[in-house]
Amino acid sequence: MPKERPPQDKASDLASIAMIEKAAADGAIDAFCRADAQGVTCRFGTDGVCCRMCHMGPCKITPRSPLGICGANADTIAARNLLREVAAGAAAHSDHCRHLVQLFKAVAEGRGGDYRIKDETRLRRAARSWGVDEVGLPALEVARQLAEVFTKEFSLQEGKVKTLELAPGPRQAIWDRLALAPRGIDATVVEALHRTVMGVDHDYRNLIHAALKTSLTDGWCGSMIATAIGDILFGTPKPVRSRANLGVLEAKKVNVLVHGHEPSLTEILAIAARDPQMLAAAKAVGAEGINLAGICCTANEVLMRHGVPVAGNFLQQELAIVTGAVEVMITDVQCCMASLPNVARCYHTKIITTSPIAKNVEAEAVEFDDSNALDCAKAILRKAIDNYPNRDPRKVAIPDAQSPMVAGFSNETIFSMLGGTFRKSFRPLNDAIISGRIRGIAGIVGCNNARDCTDAYITTLTKELIQRDIIVLQTGCAAIACGKQGLLTPEAALHLAGNGLREVCEAVGIPPVLHMGSCVDNSRILLAAKFVLDEGGLGNDFSELPAIGIAPEWMSEKAVAIGHYFVASGVDVILGRPFYTLGSQALTKYLCEDLQEIVGAKFHYISDVNQAIETVVEHIERKRDALGINRKLERKLYDMKDRRELNV
């Protein structure tokens, strides 16, 4: 029998540990148990040298059989597998985007039901960014033209997607020179899949070229557009106070959890949950009200815009049900575990799927209809209210754990906070980096992973980096991990940040760790880096910035795509666990060394958090040296001639 880890090796926060113990007592099997039951992982899978691209296989690469039946070697097989992961990750973000584009188009054409354009300023700014001349046009016409531009980004057969033009010029030139600029999203993902079919692309370098190109359809297209539409339709996030961890569930209210990634349903649910009729219905069954909270990135979407509290990140989706206090968990797409109905069976919780492309045989499917959104949302809430009397008080144990946090750091907000109302600007950030009070920028993003001690790497790394005066930008489940630890408050700067970073945070009133949104909102991090470059003094290309990306506990194929688009953009990426490439020395070297020469950035596989901290610091200081901003100012005695030259 494989050995089972003690709860404190599975999770690092006390609420999760308590729920892991309760799950065991209640007979609920969680992801940690299943991870332990998996035992030692299959070596061929971990090394990326298992191939099932055709039905002569599956083939595996060993010293005795170094080639598959078709002759593919470890380099080809591992690179093909990796490209398929990038294609899947990019497809997930982009299909999420497609749904939003269709909704945006419907709104523009007056078919948007309960949805409206909420942020016209953002609409007009987006229109200008994507080349739509909005001057003098009514908002809906601007939206119609912009929706057309967005739609073409999917179907473009030749040339390159327009969204790439949002990147800095020097980076676009690199993409052009290397033929990395992708055509439409759909065509690029299809091409990636074609290239991995048996008997097509066998050159691992060419396959990684395809992986980088495909990833750009995610970060510099699908995700970028999804973020823009989210802001236009639901509002551009502004700093908002909220709370995080399982303690946000309320014993006397109907608890409704939203989980997944799509913001359209949750936006309407946030409205429906405040509806007096709904509240009256909740009271009629003996509850004090309705408590809406979130898991994963759907949570991040409603947190950023409405301050809806976050019950937990990826590995707390089952643990939230284990509290025994959740009436309904509503899932949409991505990161919703297949196990949810099994865990829910130990309690009274109903699992409701809402997407026609994401069902579960054991869950109730309530298809969410954008054109009738409010009624759908209310129907789902009624199911939650009806389920409240079924709650078994003997099974309820809500951990007394929640931390305050501030989220909502869109770039628009950062501009205003740094520059003030009258002169919106990134200048103070650039000045602080140039003067050395802030050493650099780290983006810490991504999931948590049931094979690791949940959140431990993310939170240790974050605390250490802010202590060393590195400002941290976060998204996704990594941001929630830090929210739970109280790292997303301005007060965190007071006792955890280094002196330089603290001074800056205090001066402008921001936390040292900025929550910038969901996984698709990594596009906000790309744009933040661009705004830093635009402000001047820190180079012309991303590869010159004292900045780095880290995915400490990643697990999703989406993270594979994200890592690739950061590297393709010239930003180094540290991965807390390697891609499935270790079975190919050549491929691993290509990703972790050779790409530096080609795109100006590379991957680092670093499972040890202390080594990651050192690597981040070294990387940032090396970039600072190259920019010449680490030069110690020499003391010089000026004579009159010098003074006249200085004009003082």
Cβ closest to ligand MSK, residue 335 vs residue 377: 335
Structural tokens at position 527: 């744009």
Tell me: cis bond preceding 399? Omega within 30 of 0 counts: no
Residue 599 binds: one of ligand SF4, ligand MSK, none (C-beta under 5 to 8 A by kind): none
* Residue 51 interacts with ligand SF4 (CB under 6 A): yes or no: yes
Residue 297 CB, nearest approach to ligand SF4 (Å): 34
Residue 57 binds: one of ligand SF4, ligand MSK, none (C-beta under 5 to 8 A by kind): ligand SF4
Residue 556 CB, nearest approach to ligand SF4 (Å): 24
Q: How many CB atoms lie under 10 A from the CB of residue 86?
A: 30
Residue 514 binds: one of ligand MSK, ligand SF4, none (C-beta under 5 to 8 A by kind): none
Structural tokens at position 552: 């400490």
- Report yes or no: 532 and 430 within 8 Å, Cβ to Cβ: yes
Cβ closest to ligand MSK, residue 231 vs residue 301: 301
* Residue 477 interacts with ligand MSK (CB under 6 A): yes or no: yes
Give the one residue of 8, 37, 45, 69 binding ligand SF4; rule: CB under 6 A.
69
Give the one residue of 106, 198, 586, 609 binding ligand SF4; rule: CB under 6 A.
198
Mutual angle of helices 74-108 and 223-234, in 10-degree steps: 20
Across 345-363, b (16+ Cβ under 10 Å) vs e yields: ebbbbbbbbbbeebebeeb
Residue 40 CB, nearest approach to ligand SF4 (Å): 24
Count the site residues for ligand MSK by CB under 6 A. Answer: 14
Sheet holding 470-474, edge to edge: 513-515, 470-474, 440-444, 547-551, 573-575, 603-605
* Residue 447 interacts with ligand MSK (CB under 6 A): yes or no: yes
Here's the x/- map for ligand MSK, 544-563, by CB under 6 A: it reads as: ------------x-x-----
Residue 74 CB, nearest approach to ligand SF4 (Å): 10
Residue 581 CB, nearest approach to ligand SF4 (Å): 16
The DSSP symbol for 591 reads I
Structural tokens at position 37: 């039951």
**Closest by CA position to 83, among listed 219, 220, 215:** 215
Structural tokens at position 19: 């729920």
d(CA 408, CA 307): 8
Taking CA atoms, 196 is separated from 61, 434, 572, in Å, by 17, 45, 26
* Residue 72 interacts with ligand SF4 (CB under 6 A): yes or no: yes
**Closest by CA position to 447, among listed 212, 320, 261, 605:** 261
Of the listed pieces 11-19, 46-54, 122-130, 407-415, which binds ligand SF4 according to CB under 6 A?
Answer: 46-54
Sign of CA dihedral 515, 517, 522, 528: negative
Residue 581 binds: one of ligand SF4, ligand MSK, none (C-beta under 5 to 8 A by kind): none
Q: How many CB atoms lie under 10 A from the CB of residue 546?
A: 26
- Report yes or no: 219 and 124 within 8 Å, Cβ to Cβ: no
Of the listed pieces 51-59, 479-487, 511-519, 567-575, which binds ligand SF4 according to CB under 6 A?
Answer: 51-59
Give the one residue of 23, 28, 59, 92 binding ligand SF4; rule: CB under 6 A.
59
* Residue 481 interacts with ligand MSK (CB under 6 A): yes or no: no
Cβ closest to ligand SF4, residue 199 vs residue 420: 199
Three-state secondary structure of 12-74:
CCHHHHHHHHHHHHHCCCCHHHHHHHHCCCCHHHHHCCEECCCCCCCEECCCCCCCCCCCCCH
Q: Which residues pair with 605 in a beta bridge?
A: 575
* Residue 93 interacts with ligand MSK (CB under 6 A): yes or no: no
* Residue 193 interacts with ligand SF4 (CB under 6 A): yes or no: no
Cβ closest to ligand SF4, residue 55 vs residue 636: 55
d(CA 384, CA 254): 7
Distant-in-sequence, close-in-space partners of 91: CB < 8 Å, separation ≥ 6: 189
* Residue 476 interacts with ligand MSK (CB under 6 A): yes or no: yes
* Residue 335 interacts with ligand MSK (CB under 6 A): yes or no: yes
Give the one residue of 161, 174, 226, 297 binding ligand MSK; rule: CB under 6 A.
297
* Residue 296 interacts with ligand MSK (CB under 6 A): yes or no: yes
Cβ closest to ligand MSK, residue 450 vs residue 612: 450
Residue 335 binds: one of ligand MSK, ligand SF4, none (C-beta under 5 to 8 A by kind): ligand MSK
Taking CA atoms, 252 is separated from 15, 146, 156, 399, 648, in Å, by 19, 45, 52, 14, 70
Cβ closest to ligand SF4, residue 266 vs residue 581: 581
One-letter amino acid at 625 equals D
Of the listed pieces 62-70, 243-251, 358-366, 391-399, which binds ligand SF4 according to CB under 6 A?
Answer: 62-70
Here's the x/- map for ligand SF4, 75-94, by CB under 6 A: it reads as: --x-----------------
Residue 66 CB, nearest approach to ligand SF4 (Å): 11
Mutual angle of helices 185-196 and 74-108, in 10-degree steps: 160
Cβ closest to ligand SF4, residue 137 vs residue 198: 198
Residue 223 CB, nearest approach to ligand MSK (Å): 11
Q: Which residue reads 């050493």 in tokens? A: 439
> How do 59-60 and 50-51 pair as beta strands?
antiparallel
Give the one residue of 314, 347, 368, 426 binding ligand MSK; rule: CB under 6 A.
314
- The contact set with ligand MSK (CB under 6 A) reads 261, 296-297, 313-314, 335, 446-447, 476-477, 518-519, 556, 558
- The contact set with ligand SF4 (CB under 6 A) reads 51-54, 56-59, 68-70, 72, 77, 198
